[in-house]
Amino acid sequence: MSADVAVVGAGLAGLALAVRLAKSGRRVVVLESGGPTQSAAADSFNEVELAGQAYKGATEGRFRCLGGTSTQWGGALLPFIPEDLHRHTADWGPEWPVDVAELWKYLPEVETMFGLSAGSYEEDAPLSSWPARLPSFSWRSPKWPKFASRNMANVHRSYIRSAPNIEIWLNALVTSLNADTGRVNGVFAQSTSGGSISVEAPVTVLAGGAIESTRFLLMTARKYPAMFNDMPLGQYFNDHLSAVVADVKNAGKNQLNQLFSFQFANGGMRNWRMELSGQARRNKGLPGGFAHVAFTTAGSAGFAAIRGLAQSVQRYQLPKAADVGALCSEFPWLLQAAWWGVAKRTVLAPRGAGYELHVVTEQKPVRQNRISLSDTRCDALGQPLARIDWNVLADDVKTFMTVTSKLVAEWQKHMPERIGKLDSRAQSGIVNELTEGGGIYHPTGSTRMGTNRLDSVLDGDLAPHDVTGLRVVSTSAFPNGGGANPSLMLLLFALRSAKQIELELR
């Protein structure tokens, strides 16, 4: 089979890129390792060999099906700030070798894709006003699509069903890249039932997620050693680190709910978070980080049922009978929540909810945190498992506690009492949560971008150095995790790559 472009992975980035290319008139073949919806059989291929601490993102943060991880995606869309993209404020790794202004050109397209309105993500975002300025933190507001629109397959379902020049093969597990010296010519995939497919294409795009994209390159490097010689392929693997650092006490619950809960706005939802400002990062040599307040929902059948129903829509599945029944049993709270949604356009916290302050920071990219190939274990198709050697190091903990201490001190000094005071968690518990939490499913670094092959794998166009016919559209390309969720930046790169490929193929 031949195509203009072969895309590996039908998730957030893969489908966004494939649909854009198809709309430009290109013939696109997409190979997805899972089926139409999530299944245990497909997700069994997420098994990895762990050599360090438990990295939960490998098994709990990946989903093989049409839509990929976007079927479970939280949905936060927030641009990185300049300090994330230029020389790193903690002097971590290479600068991003991209013209940032070129990326921002695609922001309106992403917002339109998800049915979101244009407008600020910063302190002037159209939400209820924040109550106090914290000296080292900026108020920022992600945009969150509706649950149904978070699944990229839902967003493009009608198009991919009807367009004649985009073809999606499900249960197609890519086992090799077709290559010769310095060039990739397509891909070969197999199914567990014994079928196989070979796709010849002048351009192949790996968009199967950070871990899987890295594994494909490592398998290719094993077959063609010169292709990735001297590159730090698989090294500098990192994730965001997160822990609950305090409980918010003595708060006016309505005021706290109004400030930090999700607010319905212009086709989606918005909320506030506190992100370490660029100036504070530069002054203290700190990495990116942010904090948000979340309410606990344990024991709230009604709230859990609403969330379960919304997630069923996102996953393109029928709702669970238990969720429908739980709504009936929580009818009084449901009426109150409906009133909050209409009158205040805000999600109401469940009865008896507690409020927790979560801090998230970048993890330092280091060589010893890496993805490699297992020497002893293979998947059901005989391909080596990814071997993940990942650890939270003492420097990571020190950085996290520095950011946390700064935030807690500024909250206690500047936040109005009606919002609440912080009851800090014990440091030992915070450290345990960091080292045992397994990251928060934002993997980056293992095929990072840069200007030369000695300290990076990809160039600014997401192509491996000195290799043609291949792009890696994955968060693994990001040299660092940044101070925000990586999804929006990934989508901007996907649309930019689609445009570049379109121009190359003319």
Question: Which domains can be identified in the chain, with CATH numbers?
Answer: 5-296+354-504 (3.50.50.60), 299-349 (no CATH)
Q: How confident is the model at residue 66 (pLDDT cuts 50, 70, 90)?
A: very high
**What is the model's pLDDT at position 338?**
73
Structure tokens at 66: 């049409």
Structure tokens at 129: 């006003």
pLDDT tens, position by position, 170-221: 999 999 999 987 899 999 999 999 999 999 999 999 999 999 999 999 999 9
**What is the model's pLDDT at position 105?**
97
**Residue 261's closest CA among 287, 226, 285, 297?**
297
The CA angle 178-11-477, to the nearest 5 degrees, is 65
pLDDT, the chain, mean: 92
Q: How far apart, in whole angstroms, are the C-alpha atoms of residue 101 and residue 122? A: 18
- Give mean pLDDT, residues 122-151: 91
Q: How confident is the model at residue 418 (pLDDT cuts 50, 70, 90)?
A: confident
Q: How confident is the model at residue 432 (pLDDT cuts 50, 70, 90)?
A: very high
- For residue 31, the one-letter residue type is L
Q: How far apart, in whole angstroms, are the C-alpha atoms of residue 190 and residue 342? A: 50
Across 10-24, 246-260, 348-362, 453-467, least confident range: 246-260
- Give Cα 96 distance to the centre of its chain: 18
Residue 167, strand partner residues:
29
Looking at the chain, the whole-number percentage of residues with pLDDT higher than 70 is 94
Structure tokens at 91: 């002097």
- Give mean pLDDT, residues 335-343: 72
Please give the full DSSP string across 447-464, using - where no structure is assigned.
T-B-SSTTT-SB-TTSPB
Contact 244, 398 (CB under 8 A): no
**What is the model's pLDDT at position 329?**
63
Query: Kind of pairing, strands 28-31 and 5-8?
Result: parallel
Secondary structure in 3-state letters for 40-65: HHHHHHHCCEECCCCCCHHHHCCCCE
Q: How far apart, in whole angstroms, are the C-alpha atoms of residue 305 and residue 462? A: 41
pLDDT reading at 493 higher than 70: yes
pTM score: 0.94
Contact 425, 356 (CB under 8 A): no
Contact 96, 85 (CB under 8 A): yes
Q: How far apart, in whole angstroms, are the C-alpha atoms of residue 275 and residue 233? A: 31
**What is the model's pLDDT at position 330?**
66
Q: How confident is the model at residue 126 (pLDDT cuts 50, 70, 90)?
A: confident
**What is the model's pLDDT at position 363?**
98
- Give mean pLDDT, residues 21-27: 98
pLDDT reading at 265 higher than 90: no
Percent helix / strand / coil, the chain, rounded to 5: 35, 20, 40
Block residue for tokens 């920071």: 361
pLDDT tens, position by position, 228-264: 999 999 999 999 999 999 999 977 777 888 888 888 8
Contact 31, 189 (CB under 8 A): yes
What is the Cα gyration radius of the chain?
Answer: 23
**What is the model's pLDDT at position 55?**
96
